[in-house]
Amino acid sequence: MSGNDNDGKNIVLMTSGSISAFKAATLASLLVKDGFHVQAVASEGGRRFLGDPTLEGLTGRPVLSDQFERGRALDHIKLADWAHLLVLYPASANRITRLRAGLADDLIGSLFLADNFRKPWWIAPAMNSNMFAHPAVTDALRVLEDWGCRVLPTGEGRLACGTVGYGRLLEPEDVFALIKEELG
């Protein structure tokens, strides 16, 4: 949250635990190459699928995850103020239902509540098609949309588990194009 970050191009890119988390690296790279300032925030699950050095190397900023890390107690407030757009990419079934429940026991959850929809909040679901169709997830996505989140569509195709159906993470190039459209 430093440098020439006041030009309307500040993105908080959050990753949660999904096999498709590797696509967040491509999205971060596309954004940085186009002049966006990207601050990566990762859940514990997101960190397991995509290591911190990758996102740190691409964004030039340390990956944030521990809201109780010394000196970082107010990151959720500072990030909410700094960001022009917050993107949860990928959003696992676990993360989606946690946001719906208002759980703030990690940095992503606290950031979600601290922003309170002052800035655009985008959610890009990624999961098995059975999970994507589960009433807990469909209800959570509906409620999150009603609250003000933009739920990005999923793709249809072969999923990591080998099944074919909906729940495939929207490709990074498509999300990049949507972000450019949103922020100019």
For the chain, 184 residues long, give each residue's pLDDT as a single digit of tens.
554 566 889 999 999 999 899 999 999 999 999 999 999 999 999 999 998 999 999 999 999 998 888 888 888 999 999 999 999 999 999 999 999 999 999 999 999 999 989 999 999 999 999 899 999 999 999 999 999 999 999 988 877 777 877 888 999 999 999 999 999 7
What six digits make up the tokens of 160? Answer: 């990591």
Spot the catalytic one: 1, 32, 143, 161.
Answer: 161
Quote the pLDDT of residue 10.
97
Closest CA to 126 of 87, 183, 83, 181: 87
- Integer angstrom CA distances of residue 23 from 14, 49, 147, 148: 12, 11, 27, 25
Omega before residue 172 within 30° of 0, cis: no
Quote the pLDDT of residue 2.
55
Active site residue 149: no
E strand segments, the chain: 10-15, 37-42, 85-91, 121-125, 150-151, 155-158, 164-168
| Angle in degrees, CA 172, 176, 30, rounded to 5 | 80
Pairing of strands 121-125, 85-91: parallel
All structural domains of the chain: 10-183 (3.40.50.1950)
- The full length of the chain comes to 184
Quote the pLDDT of residue 16.
96
- Integer angstrom CA distances of residue 153 from 24, 68, 114: 16, 33, 25
Quote the pLDDT of residue 164.
79
pTM: 0.94
